[in-house]
């Protein structure tokens, strides 16, 4: 019995020693392998592989290749192939050995054999294709997927896998066509294919959107070959809109609308997009196309009115618009008002006609009369009437009817005490008190409006409160601020020369005042309104240089960038300035818009 126990203990000890030795060998093998000391690791893997071939094959094979022991590598790979004849990916490894031995015929033989013998079901296709891809044998990997496609053409045709391989090869045309084939195979693939193409083609720094003309070319080919397949036209329109190629988008949308015998809906949507991007000429083409469909078209009237709205925006935002153009536009608006009458539909035209008369055609009295007639003779809802009164108040202020303006604003404030339009009217009344040098009352109203529901009103109220506090904080002398407030009123009344003279006199008479950045900012405003953009830039630069941490530091930088982008046609300079806002003023209210514009100028796609 004792002898039997000794024998059992002997075998246990032996087994324990063997296991400990195996664990020790495995630890050393992996340690050397991770250090890339393959000549040392291979000694241990040689022993480990003999005991557990499947577990240690991959690392052992790698060590043999790294130590250039191709003969032994060939031997063990053949051994593995005999153990698992269906693992065609092992033939790729055998081919790799022949490649390293400079034997291209035998190498090709193994690759061809692998593709021939692979089971065309999905899992086997993926394993073999990835084996080729790991060795950067992209053509063979594509051939594997094509074999899988032939077997599974109606279920899983491997478009995305093949497209990715063409991308790695640098064959962008073939890659694009694989994605387009995926869309043609199943239109629901559109969004996925678009996302993959966007990632693969990147951004065009100059034009934005997909960064390759090949995509447009291939889409246009498919549209010509199969015009009834509208999905490709939709894709092309998507790209053109992203790249802000609105002229091209108009052509495609018009063609689609005609092909589908549409009612112009897509052109109305494009026109709206063009207006938001200040592409008024294309918007006008869209509206005109819809108008020419005839009066029976459901969009005819709204297209006619929106076309005039677009004309107004284009003209009033252009540099120094001519009196003839302004007069012609107002005449066209009046013709439309006579045709359609006074209603909620035409209210935007009524307001624009009044603004043209008041601010551009030197007919403020006519504008006041027009708005008063509309407000008293036609039945509008309270909100619409309040909007008319706001414009009427502004125009009264323009001609110096300050009491009438204040009365109108007070009426709106009373009727809409807790709504945005009421808060807007309250702020305008506060400005009237400010113009009249009643700074205490103006500041009290602004302090209340700091909590306004509308961010713009809250910010404007905060700015005015700060101006008053800053100007009166050093001493109680209100004269410099009174002069500054009166200059602001002169600007509002378009008396620009008098306003500049008033602002300059503050510096002459009160050398210790604290309105330096405010004066530069107001002079910049005058120069912008009189199309002296270079002078406006200089004013903003003065603020950034001399008053970077004052109230208008971030405002000046943003507006300078805007001038370069929209009026001085220097996109690169604008991009630099927008980026400066992000770094110098990370807490600014302009950060979101500056980032958006910076990305647009850089060419990013903005969804």
Cα distances (Å, whole numbers) of residue 60 to 396, 472, 573 = 91, 83, 59
- The per-residue pLDDT for 210 is 58
Which has the closest alpha carbon to 259: 288, 237, 287? 237
Query: Which residues 6+ apart lie within 8 Å of 391 measured at CB?
Result: 351, 354, 355, 371
Our CA angle for 481, 552, 477, nearest 5°, is: 15
- The per-residue pLDDT for 364 is 94
Query: Which residues 6+ apart lie within 8 Å of 535 measured at CB?
Result: 523, 524, 527
SS (H, E, C) 231-255: HHHHHHHHHHHHCCCHHHHHHHHHH
Q: Measure the CA–CA gap between 354 and 351, rounded to whole angstroms.
A: 5
Residues forming a β-bridge with 203: 210
Handedness of CA 536, 539, 544, 545 (dihedral sign): positive
Start-to-end CA span in the chain (Å): 85
Specify the residue for token string 């012609």: 328
User: Contact at 8 Å (CB) between 244 and 605?
Assistant: no
Specify the residue for token string 């002069």: 483
- The per-residue pLDDT for 453 is 83
Query: Which residues 6+ apart lie within 8 Å of 121 measured at CB?
Result: 151
- The per-residue pLDDT for 605 is 55
Residues forming a β-bridge with 210: 203
Cα distances (Å, whole numbers) of residue 499 to 91, 487, 493, 543, 545 = 86, 5, 10, 19, 24
Burial of 197 (0-12, 13-18, 19+ CB in 10 A): buried
Q: Measure the CA–CA gap between 429 and 386, rounded to whole angstroms.
A: 14
- The per-residue pLDDT for 14 is 44
Which has the closest alpha carbon to 605: 243, 335, 287? 243
- The per-residue pLDDT for 546 is 94
Q: Measure the CA–CA gap between 173 and 153, rounded to whole angstroms.
A: 22
- The per-residue pLDDT for 4 is 55
Q: Measure the CA–CA gap between 89 and 532, rounded to whole angstroms.
A: 72
- The per-residue pLDDT for 111 is 94
For the chain, the average pLDDT equals 89
- What is the H or E stretch that residue 491 is in? helix 479-492
- What is the H or E stretch that residue 408 is in? helix 402-415
DSSP 79-133: HHHHH-TT-THHHHHHHHHHHHTT-HHHHHHHHHHHHHHS--SHHHHHHHHHHHH
What are the chain's domains? Answer: 158-243 (1.25.40), 388-497 (1.25.40), 515-602 (1.25.40.10)
Which has the closest alpha carbon to 242: 272, 275, 210? 210
Which has the closest alpha carbon to 127: 138, 118, 136? 118
> Which stretches of 260-401 are DSSP H helices?
265-276, 280-291, 300-316, 323-340, 347-359, 364-377, 382-398
3-state SS, residue 203:
strand
Cα distances (Å, whole numbers) of residue 408 to 28, 88, 343, 402 = 90, 86, 22, 10
- The per-residue pLDDT for 11 is 47
- The per-residue pLDDT for 3 is 56
- What is the H or E stretch that residue 496 is in? helix 496-509
Sites in the chain below the pLDDT cut of 70: 1-23, 202-212, 474-476, 605-607
Region of 494 (left: φ > 0; alpha: ψ -120 to 50; beta: rest) is left
């Amino acid at each position: 019995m004792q002898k039997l126990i000794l024998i059992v203990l002997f075998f246990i000890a032996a087994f324990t020693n063997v296991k400990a030795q195996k664990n020790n060998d495995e630890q050393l093998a992996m340690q050397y392998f991770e250090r890339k000391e393959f000549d040392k690791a291979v000694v241990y893997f040689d022993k480990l592989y003999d005991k557990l071939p499947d577990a240690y094959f991959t690392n052992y094979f790698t060590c043999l290749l790294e130590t250039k022991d191709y003969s032994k590598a060939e031997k063990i790979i053949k051994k593995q192939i005999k153990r698992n004849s269906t693992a065609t990916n092992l033939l790729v490894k055998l081919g790799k050995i022949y490649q390293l031995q400079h034997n291209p015929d035998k190498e090709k033989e193994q690759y061809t054999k692998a593709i021939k013998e692979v089971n065309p079901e999905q899992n086997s296709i993926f394993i073999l294709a990835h084996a080729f891809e790991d060795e950067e044998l992209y053509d063979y990997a594509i051939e594997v997927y094509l074999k899988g496609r032939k077997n599974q053409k109606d279920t899983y045709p491997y478009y995305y896998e093949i497209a990715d391989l063409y991308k790695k090869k640098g064959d962008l045309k073939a890659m694009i066509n694989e994605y387009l084939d995926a869309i043609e195979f199943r239109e629901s693939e559109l969004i996925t294919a678009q996302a993959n193409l966007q990632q693969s083609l990147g951004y065009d720094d100059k034009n934005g959107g997909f960064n390759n003309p090949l995509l447009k070319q291939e889409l246009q080919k498919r549209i010509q070959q199969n015009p009834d397949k509208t999905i490709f036209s939709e894709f092309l329109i998507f790209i053109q809109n992203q790249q802000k190629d609105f002229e091209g988008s108009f052509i495609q949308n018009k063609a689609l609308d005609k092909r589908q015998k549409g009612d112009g809906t897509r052109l109305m949507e494009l026109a709206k997009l063009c207006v938001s991007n200040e592409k008024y000429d294309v918007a006008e083409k869209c509206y005109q196309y819809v108008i020419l469909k005839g009066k029976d078209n459901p969009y005819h009237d709204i297209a006619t009115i929106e076309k005039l709205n677009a004309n107004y925006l284009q003209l009033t935002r252009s540099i120094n618009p001519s009196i003839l153009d302004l007069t012609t536009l107002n005449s066209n608006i009046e013709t439309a008002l006579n045709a359609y009458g006074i209603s909620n539909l035409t209210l935007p035209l009524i307001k624009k006609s009044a603004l043209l008369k008041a601010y551009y055609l030197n007919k403020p009295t006519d504008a006041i009369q027009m708005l008063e007639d509309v407000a008293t003779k036609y039945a509008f809802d309270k909100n619409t009437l309040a909007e008319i009164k706001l414009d009427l108040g502004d125009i009264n202020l323009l001609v110096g009817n300050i009491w009438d303006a204040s009365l109108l604003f007070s009426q709106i404030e009373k009727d809409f005490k807790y709504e945005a339009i009421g808060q807007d009217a309250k702020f305008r009344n506060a400005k009237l008190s400010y113009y009249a040098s009643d700074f205490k009352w103006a500041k009290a109203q602004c302090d209340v409006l700091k909590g306004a529901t509308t961010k713009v009103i809250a910010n404007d109220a905060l700015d005015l409160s700060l101006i008053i506090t800053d100007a009166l904080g050093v001493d109680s002398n209100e004269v410099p601020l009174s002069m500054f407030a009166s200059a602001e009123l002169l600007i509002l009344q378009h008396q620009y020369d008098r306003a500049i003279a008033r602002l300059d006199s503050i510096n002459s008479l009160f050398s210790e005042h604290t309105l330096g950045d405010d004066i530069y900012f107001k002079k910049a405003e005058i120069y912008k309104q009189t199309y002296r953009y270079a002078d406006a830039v200089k004013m903003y630069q003065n603020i950034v240089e001399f008053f970077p941490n004052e109230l208008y530091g971030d405002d000046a930088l943003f507006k300078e960038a805007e001038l370069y982008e929209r009026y001085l046609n220097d996109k690169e300079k604008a991009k630099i300035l927008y980026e400066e806002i992000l770094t110098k003023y990370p807490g600014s209210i302009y950060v979101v818009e500056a980032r958006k514009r910076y990305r647009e100028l850089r060419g990013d796609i903005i969804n």
